[in-house]
Amino acid sequence: MKLLEGKTALVTGASKGIGRKIAEVFAQHGANVAFTYLSSVEKGEALEQELQSFGTKVKGYRSDASKFDQAEQLINDIVAEFGTLDIVVNNAGITKDGLLMRMTEENWDDVINVNLKSIFNVTKAASKVMMKNRKGSFINMSSVVGVQGNAGQANYAASKAGIIGFTKSVAKELGSRNIRANVVAPGFIKTEMTDVLDEKVVAGWEAGIPLKRGGQPEDVANACLYLASDLSSYVTGQVLPVDGGML
């Protein structure tokens, strides 16, 4: 069964990792998919080609989600190209880890701007389209770290906790227009973002996960598929952990 037939989705930060898999699973389920990337231009262009095989409309955009003007332009371009927008997955994210005593102002600002301000930018622009349509689903990518904190990630944890407060507020504001907003909170997922971590640190984390393993991008993509589809039509303002039981 194709769960997103006839719907148009935007996935931010889809050149690799979790976002890439979300774009793939959505196209597989019949969605027309717009997606963004920033520095990984070749990977973004390759994904656009690859997703053509599912037979839906797919287009990649080079767009910096942390920039308000670019987000607004992106949504205008998508509506001009696709005609509408039903689903937004705010997935773009970065880490710039360091203990508080060594964390620079720049590392704080960069992480807050890319992970949190981006969600304001894209959601504000996209909600205008959804309000006219009187339907829509926002899925915002947080992290278990946004719920429980993590030493060395004060900037990242603050951005991911902010996403939860933002999403719950938007769910309350836009619910009467039939627009839902939910959060996915992944635990430890194997991607380029986590490839940089020390093997011993990873082994320690995995030992503490009830399912005793890290997750795959597909695990997160399937949770997004549920929240994007009508299967979750009475679910809004929620945080769905995809973490092997970590939380």
- Residues within the interface to ligand NAP (CB under 6 A): 12-19, 36-40, 64-66, 91-94, 114, 141, 143, 186, 188-189, 191-194
The nearer residue to ligand NAP, 136 or 187, going by C-beta atoms, is 187
The nearer residue to ligand NAP, 28 or 66, going by C-beta atoms, is 66
To ligand NAP, the closest distance from the beta carbon of 84 in angstroms equals: 22
123 Cβ contact partners less than 8 Å away, ≥ 6 residues apart: 88, 90, 138, 140, 166, 170, 181
The CB density around residue 239, as the number of other CB atoms within 10 Å, is 18
To ligand NAP, the closest distance from the beta carbon of 143 in angstroms equals: 4
The nearer residue to ligand NAP, 91 or 236, going by C-beta atoms, is 91
Alpha helices (H) along 134-232: 144-148, 154-174, 192-195, 199-208, 217-228
The nearer residue to ligand NAP, 141 or 158, going by C-beta atoms, is 141
The nearer residue to ligand NAP, 2 or 197, going by C-beta atoms, is 197
Tokens of 198: 């020390």
160 Cβ contact partners less than 8 Å away, ≥ 6 residues apart: 115, 142, 143, 145, 146, 147, 185
Active site residues: 156
To ligand NAP, the closest distance from the beta carbon of 98 in angstroms equals: 16
- Hunting for tokens 């037979």 — which residue is that? 55
221 Cβ contact partners less than 8 Å away, ≥ 6 residues apart: 18, 21, 22, 24, 25, 26
Q: At what angle do helices 41-51 and 17-28 cross, to 10 degrees?
A: 20
To ligand NAP, the closest distance from the beta carbon of 229 in angstroms equals: 20
To ligand NAP, the closest distance from the beta carbon of 65 in angstroms equals: 4
Burial level of 60, CB count in 10 A (0-12/13-18/19+)? buried
Q: Coil, strand, or helix at residue 36?
A: strand
Contact by Cβ (8 Å): 14, 22: yes
Total length of the chain: 247
